[in-house]
Structure 1
Amino acid sequence: MPYTESALRRAEGAVPVPVPVFDDETPAVAKLDPALLDALRRAATAAADDGVEIVVNGGWRSREYQEQLFRAAVSKYGSAAEAARWVATPETSAHVRGDAVDIGPPEASAWLSAHGAGYGLCRIYRNEPWHFELRPEAVERGCPPLYADPTHDPRMRR
Structure 2
Amino acid sequence: MVMRTVPVAALVLAVAACAPGADPSPIGTTGDGSIPANQSISLDDSGHAALANLDPALLAAVRAAAADAAARGVELKVTSGWRSREYQQRLLDEAVARYRSEEEARKLVHPPDRSRHVTGQAIDIGPTAAADWLVQHGADYGLCQAYANEMWHFELLTTPGGPCPQPQDSANG
Fold conserved between structures, TM > 0.5: yes
Query: Equivalent residue for 2:31?
Result: 11
In structure 2, distance between residues paired with 1:46 and 1:98: 23
AA aligned to 1:125 is Y
Correspondent of 1:130 among 152, 163, 171: 152
Give the SS at the match of 2:155.
Answer: strand
Correspondent of 2:96 among 74, 79, 97: 74
Q: Given the alignment of the two structures, is residue 149 of structure 1 paired with residue 170 of structure 2, yes or no?
A: yes
In structure 2, distance between residues paired with 1:67 and 1:8: 21
In structure 2, distance between residues paired with 1:66 and 1:32: 15
Runs of 4+ with deviation above 4 angstroms:
none
**Comparing both structures, which one devotes a greater share of its residues to helix?**
1
Q: CA RMSD in A?
A: 1.9
Structure ranking higher on relative contact order (CA contacts 8 Å, 6+ apart): 1
Give the SS at the match of 1:94.
Answer: coil
In structure 1, distance between residues paired with 2:97 and 2:153: 22
Query: Equivalent residue for 2:105?
Result: 83
In structure 1, distance between residues paired with 2:86 and 2:148: 26
In structure 2, distance between residues paired with 1:8 and 1:107: 27
> CA shift at 1:23, angstroms?
1.2
In structure 1, distance between residues paired with 2:32 and 2:162: 35
Assess if the C-alpha contact under 8 Å between 2:29 and 2:48 holds in 1: no
Q: Given the alignment of the two structures, is residue 2 of structure 1 paired with residue 33 of structure 2, yes or no?
A: no
Gaps of 5+ in 2: 1-14, 18-26
Q: Deviations over 1:59-91 (max 9, x none)?
A: 000000101010001111111111000111001
AA aligned to 1:15 is I
Query: Equivalent residue for 1:155?
Result: none
Gaps of 5+ in 1: 153-158
AA aligned to 1:126 is A
Query: Equivalent residue for 1:117?
Result: 139
AA aligned to 2:171 is P
Structure 1 residues 45, 9: CA separation in 2 closer, same or farther (over 3 Å shift)?
Answer: closer
Percent pairwise identity: 45
AA aligned to 2:124 is D
